[in-house]
Structure 1
Amino acid sequence: MTSVSPAKPADAETRGSIACVGLGMTLGSHLSPLSRSYIQQADVVFAALSDAIVEVWLEHMHPDVRSLQPYYGDGKNKSRAVTYREWVEVMMDEIRAGKRVCAVFYGHPGIFAWSPHEVIKVARAEGFQAHMEPGISAEDCLYADLGIDPGRLGCQHYEAGQLLFYDTPINPSACLVLWQVGLVGDRSMARFSTGPEYRQVLVDVLSRDYPLDHEVIIYRGATLPIEQPRIRHVTLRDLPAVDVSAEETVVLQPASPLRPNHAVRKRLAALDQAMASAS
């Protein structure tokens, strides 16, 4: 995605700034005290959130909340890349005007979010203060809800399209987490879903490393306190026939055990013995 070109550096007296903060995934439950203070102390708040209810909740915290959702337009034939550049420009306009800006994103503002990284880069290049405050992400909720410890067997994360567009190696001995499967195969960045034919291409790629009867978990974390996470189990071969939204994540547990590296183990044993002899 093309970067937004910075303007001339700001004067030292300019007080414009931006903080990109994460609201977390579940309304009201995940907002940190520091992120809350950035919201409350801002002159203007921009919001890119997952639910209109969440926007209404945010409006109770600040009198000037401006939704970024309308920049998507009618959702037809407009690339999201254009929308995200527009987000950066509208935020930079307020920063250049000397405003303290807070941009609020659902989940973590730095995960699957181009605009927060870009606006921080542009703002810093122009001499403004810019900061990202992390939030609880969908990945964090996934580990908790599915009982996965990434430190036990390892965990690899990919945007699903990366497996189709690039020769991407997969380690079937570790967990595999695939993001945005509902959009897999879309090269236009203008669609909000793709059909079963596209998911079949993904299955064909995955079948090189996983048997077709391997279990697939389709997961979506709760966004409202009254909700429960949505967890579905299907086989890999059945994935194309199942509707998967852009907000859902696909998880494949390991299909094979970890393979011991006997050569390295032997080397480490020799080091242990040498250290013991020297002590």
Structure 2
Amino acid sequence: MATKGSLVIAGTGIQWAGQTTHAARTAIEAADRVLFAVADPWTVQWLRGLKPSAESLPYASGDTPRRLIYQEMVQRILAPVREGLRVCAVFYGHPGVLHDAAHAALRQARAEGLPARMLPGVSFLDCLYADLGVDPGQHGCQVHEATDFLIRGRAFDVHSPLVLSQIAAIGNPGFFDAANTERIQRGLRVLSEVLRRRYPASHEAIIYEAAVLPIHPPRMTRVTLEALATAAISDVSTLYVPPLGPAPVDEDMLALLGMSSGDGTIRSTLGGD
């Protein structure tokens, strides 16, 4: 009887090795075939130290539509699984955060009856919470991919932190080109205009980039929404927009929950309000 292949989708974290979970490392070492799509040469070197035969997944540049590259990635991942091999597909950060190919490969493998699972990892969002001191349990947190945020007219709450990822790729179906400043600035200009409908032009946001190496600090550059269109950004830049202040408390709801003291004060702390 032929051996049934299996798939594990794993992440390296943002800072390779130091943020790679024990479960992910074990999956990499135990796999018959390791395929990867990571963001820096240090991670590649580290992966090949664990698995010398590890292979890079296709990651073209230029005007090639990302969806076509992702489709090719999925086929490269699934081919050895169908042959009966234990495959570990490795992505940087959390494999389930901003990795369309990882999700597509997982869905397709399961649809074909092949054992497949995803292991959680450290994402840019986890790093942002730590570096900026953001507690999503205090005021909530809204997270959107920037282009999706704009083209779908996503509703958002100005009293809750807003995180917009991939701000350098707004309106770009291909891959990031730092030389295409016209496209990058157009996207930032539109984003600035949309945000200024709800926030003051002087409201300060933060352009954030998690540190890839432990010896380097993260980037945390403050910029007003008015000046966002001309800000210097890279392909890994995220925009963090702080809340305007705590949301108003519904006194009727407090009373219904038995949390009102009768004079409008709150018996327990609600997220620091």
Could you tell me the TM-score, scaled by structure 2's length? 0.89
The alpha-carbon deviation at position 121 of structure 1 amounts to 1.1
The alpha-carbon deviation at position 259 of structure 1 amounts to 1.1
Corresponding residue number in structure 2 for 1:103: 89
Gaps of 5+ in 1: 1-11, 274-279
Mapped pair 1:231 → 2:215: no
- Percent identical residues: 37
The alpha-carbon deviation at position 226 of structure 1 amounts to 2.1
Corresponding residue number in structure 2 for 1:144: 130
Alignment match of 2:168 (pick from 170, 182, 186): 182
Corresponding residue number in structure 2 for 1:129: 115
Mapped pair 1:215 → 2:207: no
Q: Which runs of 4+ in 1 moved over 4 A?
A: 270-273
The alpha-carbon deviation at position 270 of structure 1 amounts to 9.1
Corresponding residue number in structure 2 for 1:72: 59
Range with greater deviation from structure 2 (81-90 or 155-164): 155-164
CA distance change for structure 1 residues 266 and 106 in 2, over 3 Å: closer, same or farther?
A: same
1:1-279 matched pairs, under 5 angstroms: 13-68=2-57, 71-73=58-60, 75-186=61-172, 189-193=173-177, 194-269=183-258
The alpha-carbon deviation at position 126 of structure 1 amounts to 1.3
Check conservation: 1:164, 1:185, Cα contact below 8 A. Answer: no
The alpha-carbon deviation at position 272 of structure 1 amounts to 10
Check conservation: 1:27, 1:225, Cα contact below 8 A. Answer: no
The alpha-carbon deviation at position 122 of structure 1 amounts to 1.0
Once the two structures are superposed, what CA deviation does each residue of 1:89-129 show, in whole Å capped at 9, x if it has no partner?
A: 01111111111100111110000011111111111111211
CA distance change for structure 1 residues 141 and 251 in 2, over 3 Å: closer, same or farther?
A: same
One-letter amino acid of the structure 2 residue matched with residue 114 of structure 1? D
The alpha-carbon deviation at position 163 of structure 1 amounts to 2.6
Gaps of 5+ in 2: 178-182, 263-273
Once the two structures are superposed, what CA deviation does each residue of 1:195-240 show, in whole Å capped at 9, x if it has no partner?
A: 2122111111001111010011011111122221111111111111
One-letter amino acid of the structure 1 residue matched with residue 148 of structure 2? Q
The alpha-carbon deviation at position 262 of structure 1 amounts to 2.3
CA-based RMSD: 1.8
Corresponding residue number in structure 2 for 1:9: none
- CA distance in 1 between partners of 2:260 and 2:195 (Å): 39
- CA distance in 2 between partners of 1:224 and 1:29 (Å): 9
Once the two structures are superposed, what CA deviation does each residue of 1:233-269 show, in whole Å capped at 9, x if it has no partner?
A: 1111111111212211110111133111122223223
**Which secondary structure does the structure 1 equivalent of 2:137 belong to?**
helix
- CA distance in 1 between partners of 2:51 and 2:159 (Å): 47
- CA distance in 2 between partners of 1:198 and 1:247 (Å): 15
* Matched pairs, number: 257
Check conservation: 2:203, 2:225, Cα contact below 8 A. Answer: yes
Check conservation: 2:254, 2:260, Cα contact below 8 A. Answer: no
One-letter amino acid of the structure 1 residue matched with residue 84 of structure 2? G
**Which secondary structure does the structure 1 equivalent of 2:248 belong to?**
coil
- CA distance in 2 between partners of 1:217 and 1:55 (Å): 30
CA distance change for structure 1 residues 126 and 14 in 2, over 3 Å: closer, same or farther?
A: farther
